[in-house]
Amino acid sequence: QKEVEQDPGPLSVPEGAIVSLNCTYSNSAFQYFMWYRQYSRKGPELLMYTYSSGNKEDGRFTAQVDKSSKYISLFIRDSQPSDSATYLCAMTAHTGGFKTIFGAGTRLFVKA
Amino acid sequence: DAGITQSPRYKITETGRQVTLMCHQTWSHSYMFWYRQDLGHGLRLIYYSAAADITDKGEVPDGYVVSRSKTENFPLTLESATRSQTSVYFCASMGDAYGYTFGSGTRLTVV
């Protein structure tokens, strides 16, 4: 079993839709949770960063962490064609050194 | 320009040759990383460095060598390239928080 599971998609939605992207993980030591957006032939860029459980909102993006269920989500409201990209979840455990694991990414297409 | 710069952007090399991928950051971040990204595997850590002259292995270090004589540079060397090392390589740095800043990547093909 992989430490982080992420549905690769692709996920295709119409412009304006609410998008929900999710990851599950198995290691309860993870404390820091991140979402990255990666456009084709570019490096990943950090979108959202949260510590422990709870919600964090930034413009059209909301990140949720449920540590009891080992489940994290990224919601995109009013999705735009420019949101078409691959979204990677990542999580870090800081236990004597640190360990970061990335999900394989979900490919999102937002159709105009 | 501020940021993290990788070179070259594209590289084709032959099996058995030594190849060095360069990474340079302008922030003086302590931590730097090398990842490879392959379909079906996502991002996998090759090596990381906590500071100049301090490096450690990641998940897939075999066949790779790193050095970090200066804080801003973190080159990755493939000692004897193999076809299985065909991949996209990303360098990243990390500041005070736990988010990474990635370079634009080097697309390496070993023939």
CATH number at residue B27: 2.60.40.10
Query: Which of A43, A97, A103 lies closest to B102 in CB terms?
Result: A43
| In contact, B76 and B47? CB cutoff 8 Å | yes
pLDDT band at B73 (very low <50, low <70, confident <90, very high): very high
Residues in chain B within 8 Å Cβ distance of A104: 40-42
Query: Quick one: average pLDDT of A85-110?
Result: 88
Interface test with A, best of B31, B98, B106 (most A CBs within 10 A): B98
Distance from B36 to chain A by nearest Cα, in Å? 11
Q: How many structural domains comprise chain B?
A: 1
- Structural domain boundaries enclosing B56: 22-110
Q: What does the mean pLDDT of chain A come to? A: 92
The verdict on a CB contact (< 8 Å) between A43 and B40 is no
Asked if the C-beta of B104 comes within 8 angstroms of chain A's C-beta atoms, the answer is yes
Return the closest-CA partner of residue B47 out of B21, B55, A16, B10: B55
CATH classification code of A4-111: 2.60.40.10
Residue B96 has what pLDDT? Answer: 67
Structure tokens given for B94: 């990390």
Residue A96 has what pLDDT? Answer: 65
Q: Which residue has the higher pLDDT, A90 or A51?
A: A90
DSSP line for chain A: --SEE-----EEEETT--EEEEEEE--TT--EEEEEEE-TTS--EEEEEEESSEEEEETTEEEEEETTTTEEEEEESS--GGG-EEEEEEEEE-SSS-EEEE---EEEEEE-
Asked if the C-beta of A103 comes within 8 angstroms of chain B's C-beta atoms, the answer is yes
pLDDT in tens, A17-45: 999 999 999 988 898 999 999 999 999 99
Residue A47 has what pLDDT? Answer: 94
The verdict on a CB contact (< 8 Å) between B43 and A97 is no
The verdict on a CB contact (< 8 Å) between A100 and B45 is yes
User: Is B2's pLDDT higher than 70?
Assistant: no
Residue A94 has what pLDDT? Answer: 76
User: Is A87's pLDDT higher than 80?
Assistant: yes
Distance from A93 to chain B by nearest Cα, in Å? 10
Residue B11 inside a domain? The answer is no
pLDDT over 90 percentage in chain A:
75
Residue A93 has what pLDDT? Answer: 85
Query: Quick one: average pLDDT of B40-55?
Result: 91
Residue B78 has what pLDDT? Answer: 97
Query: Quick one: average pLDDT of B36-53?
Result: 91
User: Is A5's pLDDT higher than 90?
Assistant: yes
Asked if the C-beta of A41 comes within 8 angstroms of chain B's C-beta atoms, the answer is yes
Residue B16 inside a domain? The answer is no
